[in-house]
Amino acid sequence: MKEIIPCKAIKADVLLPGSKYIANRLVPMCALADGESTLHNVVQNDDINAVIEGLNNLGYRLTLNSSTLQIKPKVTELAHAVSLNTHHSGTFSRFVTAIAALESVSVFIDCSEKMATRPMTEIFETLGSLGVTINTANDCLPARIKGPILNSNCQIDASRSSQFLSALLIIAPVLSKGLTIQVNSEQVSSSYVDMTLYWMAKLGVNASRDDSSFKIGREQSYQGRELTIPGDVVSASYFMGLVAIAGGHLTIREFDFDSVQGEVDFYKVLEKMGVKFERAGNDLVISSTGRLSAVEVDMGEMPDVVQTLAVVACYATGKTRITNIEHLAYKESNRIIDTANEIAKTGIVVNYGKDFIEVEGGKPKAATINTYEDHRMAMSMALLGSKTAGVKILDADVVTKSFPDYWRLMSQVGLESITVDG
């Protein structure tokens, strides 16, 4: 458990590690490529380690040296059944299920207890319609997957997670007949699908898109590349939130202004609350007096910064309403109910429903925050401690899932924490 030490106004700069969202997509794409690839600025976290280990178990050849990842294609096809473990990673669980379906041998996919409760039905049903055999006890992982994929047309329900659609897009170029995908539902987090398509194009694969359908033609293939992964725009949100609450000035160096990820626009939400932002070359300069005003905002395309905004809203004048977030119930925690309950511990008035959270700003008091094995719960709730004494974060090391350097970099910019017995 960590106790957060309230800080003075911030005056610092920070350089953030590469985006795990981009790495989660680029690594399997490069593994499926015809030639070798080299990726620089690869964040070393639990999720990416699971990707590397899992793909190596499938016969791909990945070697991580510091923040540089060398990726070589398979030499031979798998001859015997294999197994792998996705641990806590929802993204890799969905992606590797599709990749495993490319194999003619059985692939057993195991996971953590937490991941074993998260939705997989949609990808299982779609792969089944493509001729893949799926054996699972309850439509979740663990599961045994046996391909190959036989058909070239399918439908997918992407109403709970865009990752199901991205998983199919990632494997489509290596299918001999190509793949046509019809989305038969509302599609959430479309910017993440845009990200998948963007990096597919960077590796030489083009997809045609018509309203709710996607077609990846036959005789395409990923080309090996040497690429540097841009900084993580979601990780940047915690530093923006810190300055918004505590006041002061912070420069985020090499900010990824060109990101297709929805969360790149989070600074525009904070701008409406009274925070000032300025672009200086490739850097983003943030200034705040600590005086904030409430907002009403649709966060459907910025799901992974909803918790950050909810914490910032605790210190804003008025009632902040965050809408279009129904799909957050299916993340590492129920990020609607759990976020509301933890904020309420501080005495702040919080209301929530199926697809919204309302936070009435005030003066939060000391509280011990449960993280529910959710890395983003730990990182966002820690910001409460920048202005409120006595905030403690249980299971604070859960940040290693995506951002192992979180506590070190927060200390570097001025937000200190101490480890205490719980």
Residues 6+ apart with CB under 8 A from 259: 19, 195, 230, 233
Q: How many angstroms separate the CA atoms of 23 and 103, rounded?
A: 23
Give the 3-state secondary structure of residue 93: helix
Backbone phi and psi for residue 381, each to the nearest 5 degrees, phi listed first = -65, -25
- What is the residue whose two structure tokens read 């001729």? 131
Q: How many angstroms separate the CA atoms of 322 and 325, rounded?
A: 8
Which residue in 341, 263, 349 sits closest to 314, CA to CA? 349
Longest alpha-carbon distance in the chain: 63
Backbone phi and psi for residue 65, each to the nearest 5 degrees, phi listed first = -125, 105
Q: How many angstroms separate the CA atoms of 131 and 151, rounded?
A: 7
CA atoms within 13 A on the CB side of 305: 27
Exactly one of 46, 47, 232, 304 is catalytic; name it. 304
CA distances from 300 to 33, 53, 320, 324 (A): 32, 32, 15, 5
Is 338 a catalytic site residue? no
CA distances from 87 to 42, 332, 417 (A): 19, 12, 27
Q: Give the helix ranges, DSSP H, for 263-415.
A: 266-272, 306-313, 337-344, 375-381, 406-413
CA atoms within 13 A on the CB side of 243: 27
**Which residues participate in catalysis according to the annotation?**
304
